Amino acid sequence: MPIPDYETLMLPFLKFIEDKKEHSLSEALEHIYKRFNLTEKEKKELLPSGTDLLINNRLRWAILYLKRAGLLESAKKGAYQITEKGLKVLLEKPSKINVKYLMRFPEFVSFKAPKDEKRKTVVQKKISASLNPMELLEDTHQKIKTELAEELLREVKKASPRFFENIIVSLLLKMGYGGSRKDAGQAIGQSGDQGIDGIIKEDRLGLNTIYLQAKRWERTVGRPEIHKFVGALKGQGANKGVFITTSTFSNDAKTYVSKIESPKVVLVDGARLAELMIESNIGVSNVATYDVKKIDTDFFSEE
């Protein structure tokens, strides 16, 4: 039989973890091999890009969608466990689980819905007319990037205070701040409230410094917190500061910062933090790279 697609894998995987125990991806793959009687050749079949095994890739997508619907959770790195919601689904004895089935869950609907006006425009465009191959490629890439950013931010929010500190230090170093890791580690210390506060070098020579505050929060950061931060900057005689949060900033906070001439303050919310992490390859890795080429008309010019 052909290698099952990711939707076909959803129900068998959920049934596999029905025992409420933690199961690794490798355990799940062994189950899938037997469940669908995959041959050695099918087990080793690659994606067209040649960067990943086809069955592995499809199973990971099935797991991602089930996770977004709240039917399973990551018990620990590389391991998965069924949730109470997942158990209730199995009690209904569905004949299959696919994207249409998962749309009954609000969190999955939110995951699949367009996240901004640009995405809405693309969806409307799809309905009114077919996208050309390049537009479809761009649209798909943007969708994958958006989904990755959301998943990345969720993982950051679950990180311990110490690991959160390490994430921020790694990001700043990758962006060219802080000098060496040793310098950055000394410059930024734990604040004790699920964040980090400290001074970090703006460049490798330490010609200037930036006062940093980072909060692993769910609640919106308002003007009072930013006003307090600005006061701390002035107290330190600092002229530059960056406030990072895993949540968002209120409009009042943004307006306040925009009117400050000194010290200069930059606000980095959760969405921007995830974007910077992706750009700097912090917490993510490349799966595939596609070169898109076009005809070189100059080459064929005989004049």
Amino acid at 240: K
Tokens standing for residue 252: 């009042």
**Residue 179 pLDDT exceeds 70:** no
State residue 89's pLDDT score: 96
Give the model's confidence band at 21: pLDDT under 50 very low, under 70 low, under 90 confident, else very high.
very high
| Through-space distance between the first and last CA atoms of the chain, rounded to whole angstroms | 56
Residue 136: pLDDT over 80: no
210-220 pLDDT tens trace: 888 888 899 99
Judge whether residue 158 has pLDDT over 90. no
- Residue 243, pLDDT > 70, answer yes
pTM for this prediction = 0.64
pLDDT at 119: 55
| Cα-to-chain-centroid distance, residue 224 | 29
In the prediction, which pLDDT does 135 show?
Answer: 66
Give the span between the Cα atoms of 181 and 170, in whole angstroms.
8
- The rounded mean pLDDT for the chain is 84
Of 113-117, 158-162, 196-200, 292-296, the poorest mean pLDDT is in 113-117
Condensed to tens digits (0 to 9), the pLDDT of residues 91-107 reads 999 999 999 999 999 99
Residue 120 binned pLDDT confidence (cut-offs 50, 70, 90): low
pLDDT bin (cut points 50, 70, 90) of residue 185 is low
| DSSP structure class, residue 92 | T
Q: What is the dihedral angle through the alpha carbons of 97, 101, 104, 106, rounded to the nearest 10 degrees?
A: 70
Task: Please state the CATH superfamily assignment of the domain spanning residues 160-279 in this structure.
Answer: RNA polymerase, Rpb5, N-terminal domain (3.40.1340.10)
Q: Is the pLDDT of residue 194 over 60?
A: no
pLDDT tens per residue across span 43-91: 999 887 777 889 998 999 999 999 999 999 987 777 899 999 999 999 9
97 neighbors 17 (Cβ within 8 angstroms): no
Q: Which residue has the higher pLDDT, 8 or 47?
A: 8
Share of the chain above pLDDT 70, in %: 84
Predicted confidence band of residue 190 (pLDDT cuts 50, 70, 90): very low
Residue 225 contacts residue 250 (beta carbons within 8 Å): no
CA distance 133 to 110: 27
Torsion angle, CA of 60/62/68/71, rounded to 10 degrees?
-120
Q: Per mean pLDDT, which of 10-14, 108-112, 236-240 is the most reliable? A: 10-14
pLDDT band at 127 (very low <50, low <70, confident <90, very high): very low
pLDDT greater than 70 at residue 201: yes
What would be the CATH architecture of the domain defined by 1-113? Orthogonal Bundle (1.10)
**Has residue 129 got a pLDDT over 70?**
no
Position 298 pLDDT exceeds 90: no
| Domains in the chain: boundaries | 1-113, 160-279
Mean pLDDT of 275-290: 88
